[in-house]
């Protein structure tokens, strides 16, 4: 048996080897110009590829035919290329749907007769603006229907639902050992889903903790273990990025789900169970359509009252008469889940994974207590309030009588504040526990983890009527921002595509190392790093194993499943990106964001302005970047920070005036420092004979150019009111906002990295300076110190782009 010292030395050698691999200098940005390059060969990392250029393309037919693809593996060059191919197919689909005139009777001519330049630039711009909204509306409807079809597929898969008993059993294959699955799902070319369902599944997997919990609750172990079947998907997507499958595949889909193969061929009506009388009713998907030759006076607009519209509102049958809207549906879902908890012991959403580490955590029951006492608090709470919940919705109710999730939050809050009620389900045997050495408290006292679990549970319902842990339609729209940038950069057709993938995999390894060494900070990926990170998450078991093993060997010494938050306030995202760039430069003496847009130039000035020696070293790296990177003509195709998760905070009237003024001041400070940094960078570049690009950046969306302040801001082209369920580009803040916490569940804790894609954080908190960006910044005084009065992810906060602590 090896001695302790031998094991220690082995561990030390492993750590040194990993550090050396990560610290090896990265190659300069990959080239696009050398068409003679051997695409099958992976270049040596010490060999510098030619300078970055957008010229030159390659024939991808042979390259894709030779990809070696498998499942349950960490990302490699081939899987990243296959992922890019899928992203191109999704973008091709999006453009096909958006530009299909008349789809669901939404016609382009509603923007008026086509204008020529003689009509004036303002009139033409206004018409293009209307056309872009019309096309975005078609895509928004398509996504709403795609989520419904994904639900039909999800429920058709063989399953074995998780129960509370499974969570209480040590070594349970359905719970504690669920992530250890080794058996692949039996994928073939004949059981692939349609491209729209594949796209929603792709979005679901890019929220790793939500996807794991949803799969565990449903009992889809092999499905979760395998992840994206790259080999089959690669064959199904041709070189024009059309998704083509066998006739047997289409027939099998239709048999198992009862849905048409094409999204557009499904009925124009949605079958829905009435939340009050439970009868099945048929509701229109949209009320925005008008016949092509319509001559009447009706002008339905593009918000609409259909199930897939932004202002969904319909009535049940005359006998019931209950108005059904998007506020009552999450309540009905909460009641349904509580009923499953009472009758079938199926855990409530948000109660399955350890909130701090994101892993299944089976603990032995203390004497006279409860197994998983802290994790399962939402289950005990749901059982206690279920009698009140089932009385919330009754036939015959008017709109003013209908409950919302705020009413559910009030029930939760009043139950927690009532000591007798709390004791009845929290500690019926009057057991005391040790809060700290020598300090015993009654078990009914709520622990921080239980407060967080409750907020996490509530966060899965706010403006989310689906059966999943987040609004997947909104998530798909945010992912579309990333997909569009990948499509425009077009690494796929580069003759140096394999070199690009090799390089970004190395940067991803460095990025992950920074996350491990800076657990209290939000670490933001660039677009190339995010491609590798996303590809990794599409192999859920491999990503889980990689994340937990590396965190267990890091400073924290505890296995953690690092999450990927797809909804972060834009100011916090910008601040965190500055921190990430500085940390990367300090560790590797290289520029993190290999981009020459005005924002990245300003960020480089911010993070390289401390000390002459450090500045000189940073300036050499910046000069080298300018030397090998000629300016790109399309500013929207820059490979800078990844911002698909950027959202703007919506100030509620009820928010405390102090919070509002502090946040507004911090935004002014951030913008001032950014502009000041750009001015310095431009002056410095001019002395070297380099002209930096102007700050004016325009983003083309459905044929209309929209002004964007920078890559760190939320998209300005998303149109509130036309989307199903949640607004994908905004995050409410304030006491009266959606996703407020139930009273009694707020409290200080050190738990971060919550659910992704939720509509807001703990918005009842009086406000705080983001600890990731200011309080924990130490001597990083260059930070804007962005101030938040709410969280970033699901209710209760979010770990952001790097997981948080």
pLDDT at 631: 56
The answer as to whether 100 is a domain residue is yes
Per-residue pLDDT at 510 exceeds 50: yes
Name the pairing type of β-strands 730-733 and 646-651.
Answer: parallel
455 or 720, higher pLDDT: 455
The answer as to whether 4 is a domain residue is no
* pLDDT tens for each residue of 254-277: 999 999 999 999 999 999 999 999
Q: How far apart are CA 665 and CA 675, in angstroms?
A: 15
Most confident by average pLDDT, 338-352, 414-428, 542-556: 338-352
Q: How far apart are CA 167 and CA 169, in angstroms?
A: 6
pLDDT at 11: 45
Which runs of E-coded beta strand occur in 491-604? 568-569
Q: Rounded mean pLDDT of 318-335? A: 94
Q: How far is CA 442 from CA 369, 430, 451, 626, 743, in A?
A: 11, 7, 16, 64, 20
pLDDT at 649: 67
Name the pairing type of β-strands 280-284 and 269-273.
Answer: antiparallel
pLDDT at 52: 36
Give one word for 430, left, alpha or beta, with left for phi > 0 and alpha for psi -120 to 50.
left
Q: How far apart are CA 785 and CA 719, in angstroms?
A: 30
Q: pTM of the full predicted structure?
A: 0.82
Among 754, 767, 759, CA closest to 732: 759
pLDDT at 565: 82
pLDDT at 168: 87
* pLDDT tens for each residue of 400-446: 999 999 999 999 999 988 888 888 887 666 655 555 555 555 555 67
Per-residue pLDDT at 643 exceeds 60: yes
Q: What percentage of the chain carries pLDDT values higher than 90?
A: 43
Name the pairing type of β-strands 697-701 and 768-769.
Answer: unpaired
pLDDT at 113: 85
* pLDDT tens for each residue of 135-163: 999 999 999 999 999 999 999 999 999 99
Q: Which residues on adjacent β-strands are paired with residue 647?
A: 569
pLDDT at 604: 64
Residue 765, Cβ neighbours under 10 Å: how many?
19
Per-residue pLDDT at 76 exceeds 50: yes
Per-residue pLDDT at 315 exceeds 50: yes
Q: Rounded mean pLDDT of 237-248? A: 95
* pLDDT tens for each residue of 454-472: 999 998 998 899 999 999 9
Q: How far apart are CA 646 and CA 654, in angstroms?
A: 24
The answer as to whether 181 is a domain residue is yes
* pLDDT, the chain, mean: 77
Q: What percentage of the chain carries pLDDT values higher than 70?
A: 64
The answer as to whether 3 is a domain residue is no
Residue 795, Cβ neighbours under 10 Å: how many?
33
Indicate the number of domains in the chain.
1
pLDDT at 774: 33
* pLDDT tens for each residue of 729-773: 677 665 545 445 555 444 433 333 333 223 333 333 333 333 333
Per-residue pLDDT at 378 exceeds 80: yes
Q: How far apart are CA 725 and CA 207, in angstroms?
A: 18
Lowest mean pLDDT among 125-129, 492-496, 583-587, 627-631: 627-631
The answer as to whether 6 is a domain residue is no
Lowest mean pLDDT among 19-23, 430-434, 487-491, 682-686: 19-23
pLDDT at 766: 31
**Residue 490 sits in which domain range?**
12-805
The answer as to whether 1 is a domain residue is no
What are the backbone angles phi and psi of residue 434, rounded to the nearest 5°?
Answer: -90, 110
Question: What tokens does 48 get?
Answer: 């510098």
Q: Rounded mean pLDDT of 685-697? A: 63
């Amino acid at each position: 048996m090896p001695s302790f010292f031998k094991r220690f030395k082995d561990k030390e050698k492993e750590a040194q080897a990993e550090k050396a691999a990560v610290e090896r200098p990265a190659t300069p940005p990959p080239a696009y110009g050398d068409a003679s390059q051997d695409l099958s060969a992976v270049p040596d990392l010490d060999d510098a590829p030619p300078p970055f250029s957008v010229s030159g393309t390659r024939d991808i037919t042979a390259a894709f035919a030779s990809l070696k693809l498998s499942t349950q593996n960490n990302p490699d060059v081939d899987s990243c290329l296959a992922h890019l191919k899928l992203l191109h197919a999704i973008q091709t689909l999006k453009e096909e749907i958006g530009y299909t005139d008349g789809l669901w009777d939404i016609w382009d001519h509603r923007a008026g007769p086509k204008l020529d330049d003689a009509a004036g630039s303002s009139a033409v711009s206004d018409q293009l603006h209307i056309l872009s909204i019309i096309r975005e509306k078609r895509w928004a409807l398509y996504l709403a229907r795609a989520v419904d079809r994904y639900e039909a597929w999800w429920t058709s898969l063989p399953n074995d639902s998780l129960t509370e008993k499974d969570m209480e059993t040590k070594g349970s294959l359905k719970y504690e050992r669920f992530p250890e699955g080794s058996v692949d799902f039996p994928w073939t070319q004949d059981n692939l889903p349609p491209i729209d369902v594949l796209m929603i599944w792709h979005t679901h997997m890019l929220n790793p903790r939500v996807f794991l919990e949803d799969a565990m609750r449903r009992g889809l172990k092999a499905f979760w273990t395998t992840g994206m079947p790259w080999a089959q998907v690669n064959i199904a997507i041709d070189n024009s990025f059309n998704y083509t499958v066998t006739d047997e595949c289409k027939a099998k889909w239709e048999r198992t789900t009862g849905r048409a193969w094409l999204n557009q061929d499904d009925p124009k009506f949605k079958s829905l169970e009435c939340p009050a009388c439970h009868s099945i009713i048929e509701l229109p998907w949209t009320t925005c359509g008008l016949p092509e030759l319509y001559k009447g006076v009706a002008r339905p607009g593009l918000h609409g009252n259909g199930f897939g519209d932004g202002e969904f509102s319909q009535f049940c049958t005359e006998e019931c008469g209950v108005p059904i809207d998007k506020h009552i549906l999450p309540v009905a879902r909460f009641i349904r889940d509580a009923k499953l908890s009472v009758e079938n012991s199926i855990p409530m959403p948000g109660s399955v994974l350890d909130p701090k580490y994101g892993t299944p955590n089976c603990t032995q029951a203390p004497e006279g207590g409860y197994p998983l006492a802290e994790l399962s608090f939402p289950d005990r709470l749901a059982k206690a309030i279920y009698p009140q919940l089932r009385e919330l919705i009754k036939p015959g109710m008017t709109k003013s009588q209908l409950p919302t999730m705020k009413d559910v939050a009030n029930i939760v809050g009043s139950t927690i504040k009532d000591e007798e009620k709390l004791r009845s389900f929290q500690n019926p045997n009057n057991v005391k526990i040790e809060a700290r050495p020598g300090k015993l408290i009654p078990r009914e006292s709520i622990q921080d983890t239980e407060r967080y679990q409750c907020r996490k549970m509530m966060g899965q319902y706010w403006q989310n009527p689906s059966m999943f842990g987040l609004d997947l339609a909104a998530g798909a729209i945010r992912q579309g921002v990333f997909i569009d940038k990948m499509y425009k950069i077009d690494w796929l057709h580069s003759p140096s595509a394999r070199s690009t993938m090799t390089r970004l995999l190395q940067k991803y390894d460095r990025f992950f190392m920074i996350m491990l060494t800076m657990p209290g900070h939000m670490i933001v990926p660039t677009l190339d790093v995010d491609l590798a990170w996303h590809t990794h998450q599409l192999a859920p078991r491999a990503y889980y194993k990689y994340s937990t093993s590396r965190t267990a060997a890091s400073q924290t010494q505890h296995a953690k499943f690092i999450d990927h938050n797809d909804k972060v306030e834009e100011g916090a995202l910008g601040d965190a990106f500055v921190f990430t760039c500085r940390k990367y430069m300090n560790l590797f003496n290289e520029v993190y964001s290999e981009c020459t847009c005005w924002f990245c130039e300003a960020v480089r000035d911010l993070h390289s302005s401390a000390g002459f020696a450090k500045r000189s070293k940073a300036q050499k790296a910046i000069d080298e970047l300018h030397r090998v990177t000629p300016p790109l003509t399309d500013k929207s195709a820059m490979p800078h920070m990844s911002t698909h998760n950027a959202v703007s905070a919506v100030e509620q009237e009820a928010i405390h005036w102090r919070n509002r003024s502090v946040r507004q001041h911090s935004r002014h400070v951030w913008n001032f420092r950014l502009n000041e940094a750009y001015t310095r960078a431009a002056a410095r570049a001019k002395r070297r004979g380099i002209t930096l690009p102007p700050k004016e950046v325009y983003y083309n969306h459905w044929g209309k150019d929209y002004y964007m302040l920078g890559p760190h801001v939320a998209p300005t082209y998303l149109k509130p009111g036309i989307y199903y369920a949640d607004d994908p580009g905004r995050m409410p803040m304030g006491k009266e906002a959606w996703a407020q916490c139930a009273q009694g569940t707020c409290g200080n804790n050190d738990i971060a990295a919550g659910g992704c894609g939720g509509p807001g954080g703990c918005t009842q908190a009086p406000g705080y300076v983001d600890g990731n960006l200011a309080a924990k910044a130490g001597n990083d005084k260059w930070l804007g110190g962005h101030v938040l009065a709410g969280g970033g992810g699901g209710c209760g906060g979010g770990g952001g782009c790097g997981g948080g602590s």
